[in-house]
Structure formats: structure tokens, C-alpha cells
Amino acid sequence: MADSSGMKRLLLLLLPLLASLAACDQLGIEDPAKLAAAKEAEGKAVGSACRHALRAIEDCYTLNPKAQKAAVFAGWKEMDEYMRENKLEGVAPVVPRPGSAKAGEGEAEKVEKAEKADDKASSVKDGKGAKAKH
């Protein structure tokens, strides 16, 4: 009987320990396999979004330096195949590439500046913008 009683005590002590280990996710301890799968899925999503936005794979790598390159490429390639099979057009990106414009200057501001420069140049050619010399 002493063996049975000792076994029950051991089980009663180990049961809460095992239950707490099973709930590691609730404690904030992440499973490495789940973490790797999440990073790969995120990289694929980034790659497919880049392809849909008509971005080159190199641009995608530049814009997302923390993403896994292999996963980004896999997502980009899958989306490319999907778009070709279904004859889908991509969507032009709204956000300019880093370094393509001055900090804080968007596409609309660049277009507006270019139009003003064109208007100024054409008015000078017509003689409207230049002061007449007497």
C-alpha cells in the first residue's frame, strides 16, 4: 500500500507541472517551429504583395530588409504565376521607392512642381514671363 500512496503523491505533484508546461504559449514562451512558420508566411505575403504592386523582386528585398529572402521570392513567384494564369493586371504602387524623392515629398508634389516648371518655361518662350527691355 505504501507504493500506491507514494505513486499518487508523485502524480499529484507532477500533474500541475505538466499542465503548466503545456500552457507555455500562454506564458509568452514561443514555439520555434511556429515562429519559423510565421516568418515564412509573412515573407510569402510580402513577396506576393510586391508582385501585385508591380515591384521588382530587388525592390521588394530593399523595402523589406527583415523579411526572409527565400520566402519573399517564393511568394513573389507564386503571385507571378497566379497573375499570369488568371491574366490579372497589377496595381501601381502609391508609395515611392526610398531615395527616389526628397524626404517628405510625395508623387503629387513632384508632379505639381514639374507642371509649374513647364508652365514657367513655356511662358518665358512666349515672352509673357520675361520683362520687356526698353
pLDDT tens track for 103-114: 445 555 554 555
Q: Is residue 49 pLDDT above 50, yes or no?
A: yes
131 found inside a domain: no
Question: Which whole number is the average pLDDT over 46-73?
Answer: 93
Asked if residue 131 has pLDDT above 60, the reply is no
Query: How many independent structural domains does the chain possess?
Result: 1
Judge whether 109 lies within some domain: yes
Residues 6 or more apart in contact with residue 94 via CB below 8 angstroms: 107
User: Within a 10 A sphere around the Cβ of 17, how many other Cβ atoms?
Assistant: 9
pLDDT at 4 (0 to 100): 73
Residue 94 lies in domain: 31-118
Supply 123's cell numbers. 511662358
Could you tell me which residues come within 8 angstroms of residue 10 by beta carbon, excluding any fewer than 6 positions away? none
pLDDT more than 90, % of the chain? 37
Position 84 pLDDT exceeds 50: yes
What confidence category does residue 122 fall into, taking pLDDT thresholds of 50, 70 and 90? very low
Residue 62 falls inside a structural domain: yes
Within a domain: 111: yes
Residue 4 lies in a domain: no
